[in-house]
Structure 1
């Protein structure tokens, strides 16, 4: 049987989650929404106000049913809690801090230190400290830290990160030890999918397929409002699927990442005579209608349509969200239409969208890891709890 403190914790989480999803509510409204007694709501919200997580705001207008003084509403305080996201990118490492409303407070970025895992982790910690130094109000209310990595994460450890050349690596312990905060670590595409489901374009979708289009290619799957990993935690590693090439042995077939990833796209572009020195330059060339860029993107769209249709026909999600730097290619209706028509998907059952976070999708996903934990119901079994200073894999988004 759960203790009174556990029940209080559960009810506080339910109130916070209700205010996050449904916006300002009166105490009576919360009571009706959650099925809790008004006296219980009064005690819970009083404690949340005292903790600085909730505040009273402008009152509702009086109604015919309730004449007299209008009811005071309660809402989350955006400055009541903060969450940090650390993205260990293939090329760039980023630290970002968001408030309780999901709005960005500050960020810092630098080239990824690929010397070794320890150096990479120290660089992430330095970036975070830089943001906290610029925003001193954040530190005392920082609730947790999420870390995203371009690889498979199993039980809080990096099982494999092919682009970085890492296998069986512990990561995040230094951040947890130096900050004294809970640290969650997850695959970059999974985290981005959680971010989209929690406060992105997928907030109204119970099933969501997120496709990361960046240096690496991966996917994150939300089913019935929960991130799905599979028994081995490798469900999102779709970028390693090989594309058949007639007459060649399987080991020589290119992977989806080889063809659709930024490196493959730019290689195709250069082979057609393109000379932009970086990806931003390539996008400018594409916007100007440069033949090398247009030709490379046309082939890229065909491969992307094949890849996406393979996943859509297997998983049948309500929504497919494209994110990462290359998703900028799909921001026009015509570009998205080429991909959607190429996969012959049922547009009445599956919608397609570009992430509102764009290139920031992974960093926002990292911050979404501790944020989703903050709004989740606490575990009831002691053996499921995790010590604050240890890293673990995110349990994922739950509506």
Structure 2
């Protein structure tokens, strides 16, 4: 039988009516509007939601009774009866985001739409059960920091590095072979006793950037995830665009085997730097360094620039975004080096140039895949 995370959501999060769900469509529309505009007055909600005042008051009262939103007195002075300000109750639920990358596993504990705690543990070894045990322990440590329990968790978002193959199965890089081609959501769900939604780590990082980072400024942008490998995600209308098979934004597909070693993949940068006399180097070691002064980095940046430009121009041609974000685990210093080397194909026609996207460095730096993964249960159930 097909795994449906909603079937595993704890009863105390559900509405008292059928079908089984956490919030109705109108409730979700209202919750998302409040989330985007905390403190919005109830009287200001009627027009954007296209609901009668009577219906709006009834829905808001029901959400308030369930503890999902809070009312506060408005400070504004204007004619008519006072209208309360509405905000989400951050303590109504927790969600957990887990991102599995080569070398690291990130975790994010999120309140009702607000990141609370983050943690990173090492990814190592080749035993899936061992790594899931370590994830479970790390999750318990995060909950202990907030004096919370698993009962408080609405759901879990799992983000995995690799191509999506089946519903929750991924074809991962070689160091993550033990995570590959396995239906992961029901497996992790059984381990944690919680509902699990799964997606590609680059797309969840793009979602985090859309909600909490530079992507807030635009509705459509492309996110290039510089990880051990090289992938990305597309955000359209403020939400990830997954494509028919769940692999939209897999920019590595642009390169054949002959070009594969010249991609701007950070695993290849590590190999290059280790060969330059820095053995044992990890991505974490690069994070806050000014790589522009390191021997061999400019050489590597020059080598991967043609591949970088190929990806940038393919994104421009196919997706036409307003913004392209360089993110993943890419150090800011290296991101700036790539941006300086960017050449967008823009030949003038009749003396005029077309509009091209702006390039920017990601703002969500700590465990972006986990932060985005923690949002998935919310967007699947209440927002």
For the superposition of Structure 1 and Structure 2, which TM-score range results when normalised by the shorter chain?
A: 0.7 to 0.9
- RMSD of aligned C-alpha atoms? 3.0
CA-CA distance at 1:37 after TM superposition: 1.8
Residue in 2 that maps onto 1:338: 340
CA-CA distance at 1:213 after TM superposition: 0.4
Residue 137 of structure 1 is aligned with which of 148, 152, 161?
Answer: 148
| Residues paired across the two proteins, number | 358
Pick closer, same or farther for the CA change 1:237–1:33 going to 2, 3 Å.
closer
Residue in 1 that maps onto 2:110: 98
Q: Supply the distance in 1 between the matched residues of 2:229 and 2:154 (Cα, whole angstroms).
A: 30
Pick closer, same or farther for the CA change 1:162–1:291 going to 2, 3 Å.
closer
Unaligned runs of 5+ in 2: 1-15, 347-352
State whether residues 205 and 328 of structure 2, in contact with CA within 8 Å, keep that contact through their aligned partners in structure 1: no
Q: Supply the distance in 2 between the matched residues of 1:326 and 1:31 (Cα, whole angstroms).
A: 43
CA-CA distance at 1:142 after TM superposition: 1.7
Q: Which segment drifts farther, 224-233 or 202-211? A: 224-233
CA-CA distance at 1:352 after TM superposition: 1.9
Residue in 1 that maps onto 2:9: none
Residue 273 of structure 2 is aligned with which of 247, 269, 289?
Answer: 269
Pick closer, same or farther for the CA change 1:210–1:108 going to 2, 3 Å.
same
**Deviation digits for residues 104-142 of structure 1 (CA, Å, limit 9, x no counterpart):** x22333222442333333322222122123323364432
CA-CA distance at 1:50 after TM superposition: 2.0
Residue in 2 that maps onto 1:254: 259
Q: Which segment drifts farther, 158-167 or 19-28? A: 158-167
Matches within 5 A, 1:4-43: 9-43=24-58
State whether residues 286 and 331 of structure 2, in contact with CA within 8 Å, keep that contact through their aligned partners in structure 1: no
Residue 212 of structure 1 is aligned with which of 202, 221, 225?
Answer: 225
Residue 195 of structure 1 is aligned with which of 204, 208, 211?
Answer: 208
Q: Supply the distance in 2 between the matched residues of 1:111 and 1:347 (Cα, whole angstroms).
A: 45
**Deviation digits for residues 48-99 of structure 1 (CA, Å, limit 9, x no counterpart):** 2222221112413212xx15x6432111122222211011121111221011
TM-score where L is the length of structure 1: 0.79
Q: Supply the distance in 2 between the matched residues of 1:47 and 1:268 (Cα, whole angstroms).
A: 59
Pick closer, same or farther for the CA change 1:343–1:138 going to 2, 3 Å.
farther
**Deviation digits for residues 146-188 of structure 1 (CA, Å, limit 9, x no counterpart):** 0011112244332411332254212132432244432101111
Residue in 2 that maps onto 1:62: 77
**Deviation digits for residues 305-326 of structure 1 (CA, Å, limit 9, x no counterpart):** 3322222222211221111121
CA-CA distance at 1:19 after TM superposition: 0.3
Pick closer, same or farther for the CA change 1:11–1:212 going to 2, 3 Å.
same
State whether residues 213 and 362 of structure 2, in contact with CA within 8 Å, keep that contact through their aligned partners in structure 1: yes
Pick closer, same or farther for the CA change 1:343–1:231 going to 2, 3 Å.
same
CA-CA distance at 1:284 after TM superposition: 6.6
Q: Supply the distance in 2 between the matched residues of 1:73 and 1:302 (Cα, whole angstroms).
A: 52
